[in-house]
Chains A and B, each alone.
Chain A
Amino acid sequence: MTFRFDNVYIRDVATVVGPYESKGPLSKKFDQSYDDMYFDCDSFEKAEVKILFDSINILLNKVKKDKSDIDLFISGDLQNQITASSYVARNLKLPFLGIYSACATNVEGLIIGSNFLENHLVDNVLVSVSSHNMVSEKQFRNPTEYGAPKPKTATFTATGGASCLLTNKSGKVKITAGTIGKVVDYNQTNPLDMGSVMAPAAADVLNTHLNDLDRDITDYDLILTGDLGIIGKNILIDFMKSEYGIDIENIYNDCGVMLYDLEKQKDVLAGGSGPVCSALVVYSDIIKKLEKKELKRVLYIATGALFNPTSVFQKENILGIAHAISLESI
Chain B
Amino acid sequence: MYIFLIFTNNIIGENMEKKLYDKLVLEHAPKEKRLENAVIAFLIGGVMGVIGELLVEFYGYYLHISRSDASVFMIITLIFLASLFTALGFFDKWVKFAKCGLIIPITGFAHSMTSAAIEYKREGFVTGLGANMFKLAGTVILYGVVSAYIFGLIRLIIGGI
Given contacts A143-B135, A146-B92, contact A151 B25 (CB under 8 A): no
Q: Which of B7-31 contact A (CB under 8 A)?
A: 10-11, 13-16, 18, 21-22, 24-25, 27-30
Bound Cα distance from A275 to B16, whole angstroms: 27
A185 touches B29 (CB 8 A): no
The smallest beta-carbon distance between A145 and chain B, in angstroms, is 4
B95 touches A143 (CB 8 A): no
The yes or no answer to B144 lying at the interface (CB within 8 A) is no
The yes or no answer to B64 lying at the interface (CB within 8 A) is no
Q: What 0/1 pattern do residues 88 to 100 of B give for CB contact below 8 A with A?
A: 0101110110010
Given contacts A152-B32, A153-B30, A186-B21, contact A43 B122 (CB under 8 A): yes
A196 touches B99 (CB 8 A): no
Interface SS majority for chain B:
helix
Q: What 0/1 pattern do residues 191 to 228 of A give for CB contact below 8 A with B?
A: 00100100010001000000000000000000000000
The yes or no answer to A238 lying at the interface (CB within 8 A) is yes
A residues in contact (CB < 8 Å) with B: 42-43, 138, 142-149, 151-153, 184-188, 193, 196, 200, 204, 231, 234-235, 238-239, 242-243, 270
Known A143-B119, A151-B32, A238-B24; further 14 A-B contacts with Cβ < 8 A? A138-B119, A142-B136, A143-B116, A144-B92, A144-B119, A145-B92, A145-B115, A146-B92, A149-B96, A151-B30, A187-B11, A200-B16, A200-B21, A270-B30
Specify which chain A residues have a CB less than 8 angstroms from the CB of B135 in the assembled complex. Answer: 143
Q: Which of B73-109 contact A (CB under 8 A)?
A: 86, 89, 91-93, 95-96, 99, 103
The smallest beta-carbon distance between A47 and chain B, in angstroms, is 12
Bound Cα distance from A147 to B22, whole angstroms: 29
Which one of A144, A153, A204 lies within 8 Å of B14 (CB-CB)? A204
Specify which chain B residues have a CB less than 8 angstroms from the CB of A43 in the assembled complex. Answer: 122
The smallest beta-carbon distance between A77 and chain B, in angstroms, is 18
Specify which chain B residues have a CB less than 8 angstroms from the CB of A193 in the assembled complex. Answer: 25
A235 touches B30 (CB 8 A): no
Which one of B25, B30, B99 lies within 8 Å of A152 (CB-CB)? B30
The smallest beta-carbon distance between A208 and chain B, in angstroms, is 10
B14 touches A146 (CB 8 A): no
B122 touches A147 (CB 8 A): no
Bound Cα distance from A14 to B29, whole angstroms: 36
Which residue in chain A gives the minimum CB-CB distance to B95? A147
B96 touches A187 (CB 8 A): no
The smallest beta-carbon distance between A254 and chain B, in angstroms, is 13
Bound Cα distance from A153 to B99, whole angstroms: 17
A42 touches B122 (CB 8 A): yes
Bound Cα distance from A184 to B21, whole angstroms: 13
B111 touches A146 (CB 8 A): yes
Specify which chain A residues have a CB less than 8 angstroms from the CB of B29 in the assembled complex. Answer: 153, 231
